Amino acid sequence: MVSHKHKLSDILKKSGLRYTRQRQAVLDELNRIQDHRDVEDIYFSMKRKGLKVSRATVYRTLKLLVKNNLARRLDLGEGKYRFENRESKHHDHIICLDCNKIIEFMNDRIEKLQEEVAEEYGFTLTKHIFQLYGNCVDKFCPNK
């Protein structure tokens, strides 16, 4: 198995960029927590740890990670993107419109139905993004 450091180093080399501790720190921070985090959350988390990194480096590194399938960029309708690492197995999301809680789920029936729909319309699926939006029933939801 190729380490994150080697993967990142290879990607940077192919992109004509040099490997830096700051770029590695962005990847490490993204992989540290299995969550859906925006750029500011990642940036400030790194700053709290005393890491010297600019917002621009965080933005550019995340863009590079997404382009090379080490990260996934999510648009949850908040006016900002969230990011998650690509190490977890395939999953879909259900998002609360009140508190922005995100639940990851996998449903074999949905996966099968997507394949059937694609076949019906003459497509071969290469990827998909499936996000459900609604209002959670959590009585502690802060925006109820």
User: Considering the domain 92-134, what is its CATH architecture?
Assistant: 2-Layer Sandwich (3.30)
Q: What is the DSSP letter of 131?
A: E
Residues 2-49: tens digit of each pLDDT: 466 688 889 999 899 999 999 999 999 998 888 889 999 999 999 999
Domain 4-85 top-level CATH class: mainly alpha
pLDDT above 80 for 89: no
CB 46 within 8 A of CB 53: yes
Residue 1 has pLDDT above 50, yes or no: no
Q: Could you give the strand order of the β-sheet that contains 102-105, starting from the edge strand earlier in sequence?
A: 102-105, 92-96, 131-134
What's the whole-model pTM score? 0.76
- Give the pLDDT of residue 144: 67
Burial of residue 7 (CB within 10 Å: 0-12, 13-18, 19+) is middle
- For the chain, give every domain's residue range: 4-85, 92-134
Virtual CA dihedral for 43, 47, 48, 49, nearest 10 degrees?
A: 110
Q: What is the tens place of the pLDDT at every residue in 95-141?
A: 888 888 888 899 999 999 999 999 999 999 888 888 899 998 888 88
